[in-house]
């Protein structure tokens, strides 16, 4: 058999075995046999690279490095859906559908709304050719090599559909939701902890970050998956959505079999109620139900608004709430010295296993400050209700007073001294938090400042994380940020620390040759980080990444900022009273001035270089914007960049000078109220996108 024939044979066999294993849960050969065939194929492809097929299973193991993701315009715009949170709004939606269809019979398809990253996947002549993120709905990032690593996604399909006309569809697009299963998420975080690196807060963020990695080998290792839910083509292949889902399943696509056809809105509501609890048994996160008209012709008849389709809506579940026992309150110390009380939680059996909430185990929840403890009226031993804000951050919402036993609960006495160093706590007038005053001698503050300094938005020093910083501090190698620039290979190589967690799991942090090289290279590279990142990294109170960028752009160098008085600082864009006062106090401290000079001598950038921002247009020129809540298409930083790239200006607070407040999901009540009071125009994310044209 010649090489081309053998490559074809191996490709077809391995794709078949993959399909049987990942879609049908059937192992037709052993893992060892599969690996041997895969290695043979890899060897042949390396010898004859021109013979490698687009659908080769070797794409799934990664190996491609992507420096920059190309921006791709969607053939069919990826629109967002209108959201609803109660039954009456669903009934109102149903009434609009009924009216729009003039009494025609209609039915719905209900699907679980999976919490991941929206993907568009294009096939030409049955071959997968492109995978693109949702982006802003009009354009997305081409992440084809990363999407290829999804083992449940066919890289080649027979280009025929049972319900299609004879011509078939030569090119079509599949929409789906890329996600990280809980099992992969927990494994990934365990590996990050073992390496002393920062872990992800939730599986959705982990999936989003993983799909945008530049090394597809690392993407493949993380075990991403995807459910597909929509077929699109220029030809009308299917009469109903139901037909398309069945056809996609038959072609080998991973279609979640949780969908259901419903004939009435009451059946839709019954489906929603059924999955309210059942969804937590799934291996991935969900946050609602999508309701769509089944008939493709009726969808066309109803059409679209400027924001979303009239024939579909998303029902969002309320955050899951569960009871827990408040075993204790502990106190964390942040880099600024702020003391954060933390609720230590357990189930009613007090077995140390915590509670299962929205797909993860929860043992702790922030209580924010002393005011919150007082507001909730908490006592140690209380039964409390816990939920996840935005399905992400656990929080205590209330006390179950019916279960309180005054003889077996105790008052919470807020500490007067730092739980870490014993320093006195202070509370400034008008502030909710208590602060440790021992700034230079409190270990968590010292370590926290260093961790902030190495953050990706600051100096972005590779291979250093919380665990490694703690080890360096414990070994006496770093007592200050400036000590990082005195580290050498000899000081780092061979350092090791072994700890054991509350479950007896051993955690080992070590500095081997490659790790040491990466750390030292990252430290050296940080000397070229722009001034705005250095300014953010040194940790002046209230000077976040955005404020640091404004200051660097306005004052140009550190000396101008240091020498500016309060009034001069207030003339800079977005610099209010609190920020200006904080900067003045920072530079009045002689120790801080010495610290800056040490970093200057180490070679860091304390002057702004002239940076030319890439502009997309001037549609927002002369307009000011602020935002609140979370958004489907943007992280906070990306939204700010989009505004500025189109000529707009992002401001720091609601005032009479604000033109638009962009309101996302779960917005802040205070911003909304202030905007209403000042008659500031509030717009949705879709309205903002429409302004961009």
Contacts of 121 (CB under 8 A, 6+ apart): 128, 130, 131, 132, 147, 153, 173, 174, 175, 176, 228
Strand 312-316 and strand 83-84: the pairing is: parallel
Three-state DSSP state, 510: strand
How confident is the model over 165-182, as a mean pLDDT? 77
Q: How many CA atoms lie within 13 A of 142 on its CB side?
A: 11
Distance CA 424, CA 305 (A): 59
- Which CATH fold topology does 323-434 show? OB fold (Dihydrolipoamide Acetyltransferase, E2P) (2.40.50)
- Read off the pLDDT of residues 192-201 as tens digits, 9 standing for 90 and up: 665 555 567 6
Does the pLDDT at position 164 exceed 50? no
Confidence (pLDDT) at 247: 92
Q: Quickly list DSSP for 282-299.
A: SSS-EEEEEEEESBHHHH
Q: How many CA atoms lie within 13 A of 545 on its CB side?
A: 15
Residue identified by tokens 């009009």 is 138
Distance CA 595, CA 133 (A): 43
Please state, in angstroms and as integers, the Cα–Cα distance from residue 523 to each residue in 201, 464, 496, 533, 595, following that order.
26, 10, 20, 14, 17
The winner for highest mean pLDDT among 404-408, 549-553, 601-605, 644-648 is: 601-605
Spatial CA neighbour of 492 closest among 471, 507, 506, 508: 471
User: Considering the chain, what percentage of its residues have pLDDT values greater than 90?
Assistant: 48
Residues in the chain: 693
What ranges do the domains of the chain cover?
A: 3-56, 73-316, 323-434, 443-528, 531-602, 624-691
Does the pLDDT at position 8 exceed 90? no
- Is the separation of the CB atoms in 131 and 2 below 8 Å? no
Distance CA 357, CA 388 (A): 8
Distance CA 293, CA 107 (A): 6
Q: Quickly list DSSP for 566-624.
A: HHHHHTSTT--HHHHHHHHHHHH-HHHHHHHHHHHHHT---B-----PPP--STTTT-E
Residue 366, number of CB atoms within 10 A of its CB? 16
**Segment (H or E) for 685:** helix 685-691
* DSSP β-bridge partners for residue 240: 295
- Is the separation of the CB atoms in 121 and 174 below 8 Å? yes
- Which CATH fold topology does 624-691 show? Rossmann fold (3.40.50)
The secondary structure of residue 379, as a DSSP letter, is E
Contacts of 637 (CB under 8 A, 6+ apart): 545
Q: Which residues are catalytic?
A: 113
Spatial CA neighbour of 158 closest among 144, 172, 145: 172
3-state SS of 15-30 is HHHHHHHHCCCCCCCC
- Read off the pLDDT of residues 459-516 as tens digits, 9 standing for 90 and up: 988 778 888 899 999 999 999 999 999 999 999 998 887 766 555 566 677 788 888 9
443-528: what CATH class? mainly alpha
Residue identified by tokens 């079509």 is 172
Q: Is 561 exposed, middle or buried (0-12, 13-18, 19+ CB in 10 A)?
A: buried
Does 531-602 match 3-56 at the fold level? no
Three-state DSSP state, 478: coil
Confidence (pLDDT) at 292: 97
Joined tokens for residue 389: 């804000």
Does the pLDDT at position 233 exceed 70? yes
Please state, in angstroms and as integers, the Cα–Cα distance from residue 510 to each residue in 189, 451, 494, 498, 500, following that order.
18, 18, 7, 9, 15
Confidence (pLDDT) at 214: 82
* DSSP β-bridge partners for residue 324: 384
Q: Quickly list DSSP for 96-145.
A: HHHHHTTT----EEEEEEE-SEEEEEEEETTEEEEEEE-TTSSEEEB-HH
pLDDT band at 166 (very low <50, low <70, confident <90, very high): very low
Joined tokens for residue 327: 């075993």
- Read off the pLDDT of residues 608-635 as tens digits, 9 standing for 90 and up: 875 556 678 888 998 999 998 888 778 7
How confident is the model over 316-330, as a mean pLDDT? 89
Please state, in angstroms and as integers, the Cα–Cα distance from residue 25 to each residue in 12, 18, 181, following that order.
18, 10, 16
> Does CATH place domain 531-602 in 1.10.150.20?
yes
The chain-wide mean pLDDT, for the chain, equals 87
Distance CA 475, CA 489 (A): 15
Please state, in angstroms and as integers, the Cα–Cα distance from residue 170 to each residue in 132, 159, 238, 255, 537, following that order.
19, 7, 15, 21, 53
The secondary structure of residue 352, as a DSSP letter, is S
Computed on alpha carbons and rounded to an integer, the radius of gyration of the chain in Å comes to: 28
- Which CATH fold topology does 73-316 show? D-amino Acid Aminotransferase; Chain A, domain 1 (3.30.470)
Spatial CA neighbour of 177 closest among 111, 264, 237, 240: 111
Confidence (pLDDT) at 162: 45
Q: Minimum mean pLDDT among 82-86, 203-207, 229-233: which range?
A: 203-207
pLDDT band at 168 (very low <50, low <70, confident <90, very high): very low
- Whether this model's pTM surpasses 0.75: no
Confidence (pLDDT) at 29: 78
Distance CA 326, CA 147 (A): 43
Strand 312-316 and strand 260-262: the pairing is: unpaired
SS3 content of the chain, % helix, strand, coil (to 5): 40, 25, 40
Spatial CA neighbour of 548 closest among 469, 474, 452, 419: 452
- Which CATH fold topology does 3-56 show? Helix Hairpins (1.10.287)
């Amino acid at each position: 058999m010649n090489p081309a024939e053998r490559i074809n044979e191996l490709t077809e066999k391995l794709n078949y075995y993959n399909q049987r294993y990942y879609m049908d849960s059937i192992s037709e050969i052993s893992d060892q046999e599969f690996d041997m065939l895969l290695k043979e194929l890899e060897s042949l492809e390396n010898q004859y690279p021109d013979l490698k097929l687009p659908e080769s299973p070797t794409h799934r193991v990664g190996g491609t490095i992507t420096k920059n993701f190309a921006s791709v315009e969607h053939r069919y715009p990826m629109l967002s859906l209108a959201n609803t949170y109660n039954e009456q709004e669903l009934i109102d939606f149903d009434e609009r559908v009924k009216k729009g269809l003039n009494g025609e019979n209609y039915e719905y398809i209900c699907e679980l709304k999976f919490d991941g990253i929206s993907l568009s996947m294009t096939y030409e002549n049955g071959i997968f050719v492109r995978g693109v993120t949702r982006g802003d709905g009009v354009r997305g990032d081409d992440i084809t090599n990363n999407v290829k690593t999804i083992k449940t996604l066919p890289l080649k399909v027979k280009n025929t559909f049972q319900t299609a006309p004879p011509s078939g569809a030569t090119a079509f697009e599949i929409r789906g939701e890329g996600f990280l299963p809980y099992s992969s998420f927990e494994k990934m975080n365990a590996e990050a902890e073992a390496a002393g690196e920062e872990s992800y807060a939730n599986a959705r963020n982990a999936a989003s970050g993983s799909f945008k990695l530049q090394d597809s080998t690392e993407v493949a290792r993380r075990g991403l998956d995807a459910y597909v839910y929509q077929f699109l083509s220029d030809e009308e292949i299917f009469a109903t959505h139901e037909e398309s889902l069945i056809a996609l399943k038959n072609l080998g696509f991973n279609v979640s079999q949780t969908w259901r056809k419903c004939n009435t809105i009451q059946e839709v509501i019954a489906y929603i109620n059924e999955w309210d609890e059942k969804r937590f048994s799934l291996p991935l996160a969900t946050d609602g139900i999508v309701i769509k008209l089944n008939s493709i012709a009726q969808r066309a008849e109803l059409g679209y608004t400027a924001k979303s389709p009239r024939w579909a809506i998303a029902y969002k579940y309320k955050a899951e709430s569960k009871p827990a026992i408040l075993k204790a309150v502990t106190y964390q110390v942040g880099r600024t010295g702020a003391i954060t009380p933390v609720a230590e939680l357990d189930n009613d059996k007090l077995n140390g296993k915590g509670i299962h909430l929205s797909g993860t185990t929860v043992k702790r929840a922030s209580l924010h400050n002393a005011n919150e403890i007082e507001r909730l009226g908490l006592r140690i031993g209380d039964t409390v209700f816990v939920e996840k804000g935005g399905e992400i951050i656990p929080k205590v919402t209330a006390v179950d007073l019916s279960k309180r036993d005054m003889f077996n609960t105790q008052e919470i006495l807020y500490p007067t001294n730092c739980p870490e160093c014993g320093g006195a706590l202070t509370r400034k007038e008008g502030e909710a938090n208590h602060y440790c005053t021992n700034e230079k001698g409190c270990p968590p503050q010292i370590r926290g400042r260093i961790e902030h300094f190495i953050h990706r938005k600051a100096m972005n020093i590779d291979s250093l994380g919380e665990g490694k910083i703690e080890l360096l501090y414990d070994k006496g190698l770093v007592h200050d940020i400036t000590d990082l620039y005195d580290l050498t290979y000899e000081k780092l190589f061979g350092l090791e620390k072994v700890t054991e967690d509350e479950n007896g799991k051993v955690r080992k942090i070590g500095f081997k040759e490659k790790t040491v090289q990466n750390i030292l290279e990252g430290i050296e590279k940080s000397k070229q980080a722009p001034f705005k990142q250095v300014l953010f990294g040194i940790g002046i109170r209230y000077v976040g990444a955005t404020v640091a960028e404004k200051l660097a752009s306005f004052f140009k160098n550190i000396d101008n900022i240091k020498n500016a008085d309060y009034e001069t600082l207030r003339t800079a864009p977005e610099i209010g009273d609190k920020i200006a006062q904080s900067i003045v106090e920072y530079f009045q401290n002689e120790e801080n001035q010495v610290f800056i000079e040490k970093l200057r001598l180490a070679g860091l950038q304390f002057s702004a270089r002239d940076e030319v921002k890439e502009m997309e247009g001037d549609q927002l020129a002369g307009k000011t914007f602020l935002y609140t809540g979370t958004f489907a298409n943007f992280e906070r930083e990306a939204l700010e960049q989009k505004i500025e790239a189109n000529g707009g200006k992002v401001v720091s607070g609601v005032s009479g000078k604000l033109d638009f407040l962009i309101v996302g999901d779960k917005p802040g009540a205070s911003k909304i109220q202030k905007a209403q009071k000042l008659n500031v125009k509030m717009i949705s994310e879709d309205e903002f996108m429409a302004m961009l044209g």
